[in-house]
Structure 1
Amino acid sequence: MTTVLRYAAFTTDPAGGNKAGVVPDATGLTDQRMLAIAAELGYSETAFLIADPSAGERTYRVRYFAPTLEVPFCGHATIAAAVAVADATGPGELVFETGAGTVPVVVAADGDGVLRATLTSVEPHVLEIGEADVAQALALLGWQADELDPTLPPRVAYAGARHLVLAARSRERLAELSYDFDGLAAFMTERELITLQLVWRESATVFHVRDPFPVGGVVEDPATGAAAAAFGAYLRELGEVGETAELTLHQGADLGSPGLLSVELRAGDPRVRVSGAGVRLPE
């Protein structure tokens, strides 16, 4: 009997954040079985863990499945899985060997006993995207070019998975999300994009974000740690933040499932750290 746990990441409230499945011991599960479990749960991703003591204590091989496909890395399921491990074995340092590379995670309890996990991304990069591709993405979203924030140009950002960053000029534009599901899924599949990172800048370090995820069979991801890491790298690449910075991302409020993501950049380290709380869902 396969044990499947359910967690919410980037929240302390089970009603908020982004839900993820966690299979703490996926030893012997086939790809088809993992995909079936993820589809049955219906969450944007489920993390499947296999302990690898030969690689070090508290080291796990981790695979991530959305309802329709496997993805190389998922931030919110990493947070959820790390908190699940900490619930079972105590806080501390973990190592997740993912399809994108090695992701260290640290779990600590705050003064109220809430478990919070911090992942360190693989090395990110940021790429330009052609005007024709941007125009096609906007058409599929139903956005107009003049609704974009000209100070935050479109880019493809990677920190374990590829995300197209598009910045809205207004919070109202971000709040209204209705898009061509099949068309956007095909567009993203052709370009190996996992989500679109749609953002609106409230201040220099505070952003509101939304992430359509049609390639995974999900209309929208409520809190996206992988995209948050990629977005931190994007802002640094553009010079919008310093080499050292702390960012706050609000996500999920438009879905009635608010989450809070903290992003940290450190001078001398190209990797990006993403932190958030996690809580187990009631059975």
Structure 2
Amino acid sequence: MSLEVTVVQACLRSGRGGSRTAVVEDGDLSDAARRTVPGAVGASQAVFIAAQDPAAVRLRFFTSTGELPACGHGTVAALAVLAQRSGNDRYDGVLHSTTRSLPGHAIGNAGHYSAAFEPGPIDLRAATIEEADPILSALRVSAEVAGCHVASVGRPRLLVELADRQTLANLAPDMPTLQAVTDRLDLLGCYVYVTPSSDGHTVARMFAPSIGVPEDIANANSTACAAAHLSTRGHSKLQVDMGDSLGQPATMTATVTGSPGTPIVEVGGTATISGRHHLD
């Protein structure tokens, strides 16, 4: 295997941190080879771009454990790389994952971009007691929980709303138990966030040991899911900070338009192309 890997810091906060993401021009690779890429460059995820036809850019997302149907910060990273390749200050395109079409854009130059995309329809429902209780137990949440919902943009995950930031900061999940529970419930993981302030600012943490990511630095698709839910309570815009517990500050923004029954969510963040690696 000989690959050129572009490394992107996706969803930075004020030019710092972000989630290290590998971006690769896809080719005749096995899935086993694709799974090796994130670890080889110190990233949690890799996105593989097939862009032979500019009108039909296709993306595939991999962690070290396998393929994902979607990856939000991976899509942000891909948009940044496509914008740089275009040579223009603005790139617009419709990207295609294995399950969805993702209209998106990136604005910027010199390796620094602001990117956003629409993840598509979001399935959302209240969690059952049988779903929420074992995950809350694995999270070791003892404080009152404001609500739990199951949301999906390709794969379901549990959204857990907490009332205060200190409870979120203090979380120390039992990872083996959390992995076993999310595996049993066929959930991607658990996105825990704090009830946002009136201006839509909040903080979150994402735990996904079942896909080899005990805690994610940035999770744009889960942020989009939370935005769809919170829009029913009057929050049309969110700004979500993540990654502080890992020393990698990240920020995502989400905007919700459309009717309450069929919200249209656009989610994104800033991205910097930080380097390139050659893998043999």
The reply to whether TM is greater than 0.5 is: yes
Structure 1 residue 177 and structure 2 residue 171: aligned? yes
More strand by share: 2
- State the alpha-carbon separation in 1 of the partners of residues 250 and 219 from structure 2: 9
Cα offsets for 1:14-72 (capped at 9, x unmatched): 7501111110x21111111111223433422110111141xxx3431111001112110
Aligned residue among 268, 273, 279 for 1:280: 273
Aligned to 1:62: 59
Contact 1:75 1:224 in 2 (8 A): yes
Structure 1 residue 256 and structure 2 residue 247: aligned? yes
Q: Quick check: 192-201 or 208-217, which moved more?
A: 192-201
Q: Give runs of aligned pairs for residues 118-133 of structure 1, distance below 5 A.
A: 118-133=116-131
Residue type matched to 1:258 in 2? P
- State the alpha-carbon separation in 2 of the partners of residues 106 and 159 from structure 1: 19
Aligned to 1:142: 140
Residue type matched to 2:49 in 1? L
Number of residues of Structure 1 aligned to a counterpart in Structure 2: 270
Residue type matched to 1:181 in 2? M
Contact 1:5 1:22 in 2 (8 A): yes
Aligned to 1:104: 103
- State the alpha-carbon separation in 2 of the partners of residues 73 and 80 from structure 1: 13
Cα offsets for 1:211-269 (capped at 9, x unmatched): 01201212210111111111111223xx2126xx1211111122221111110111246
- State the alpha-carbon separation in 2 of the partners of residues 117 and 169 from structure 1: 30
Cα offsets for 1:160-200 (capped at 9, x unmatched): 33221111222111001211222211211222222311001
Aligned to 2:192: 198
Contact 1:197 1:227 in 2 (8 A): yes
Contact 1:100 1:122 in 2 (8 A): no
Unaligned runs of 5+ in 1: none
Cα offsets for 1:82-125 (capped at 9, x unmatched): 10121222331122111231111111128x98411111111111
- State the alpha-carbon separation in 2 of the partners of residues 43 and 114 from structure 1: 19
Structure 1 residue 20 and structure 2 residue 21: aligned? yes
Cα offsets for 1:145-167 (capped at 9, x unmatched): x4312xxx200011233221111
**Structure 1 outlier segments of 4+, above 4 Å:** 12-15
Aligned to 2:221: 226
Contact 1:157 1:233 in 2 (8 A): no
Aligned to 1:33: 33
Identity rate of aligned residues, in percent? 24
Contact 1:13 1:279 in 2 (8 A): no
Contact 2:111 2:273 in 1 (8 A): no
- State the alpha-carbon separation in 1 of the partners of residues 256 and 180 from structure 2: 33
Cα 1:114–1:6 shift into 2, 3 Å? closer
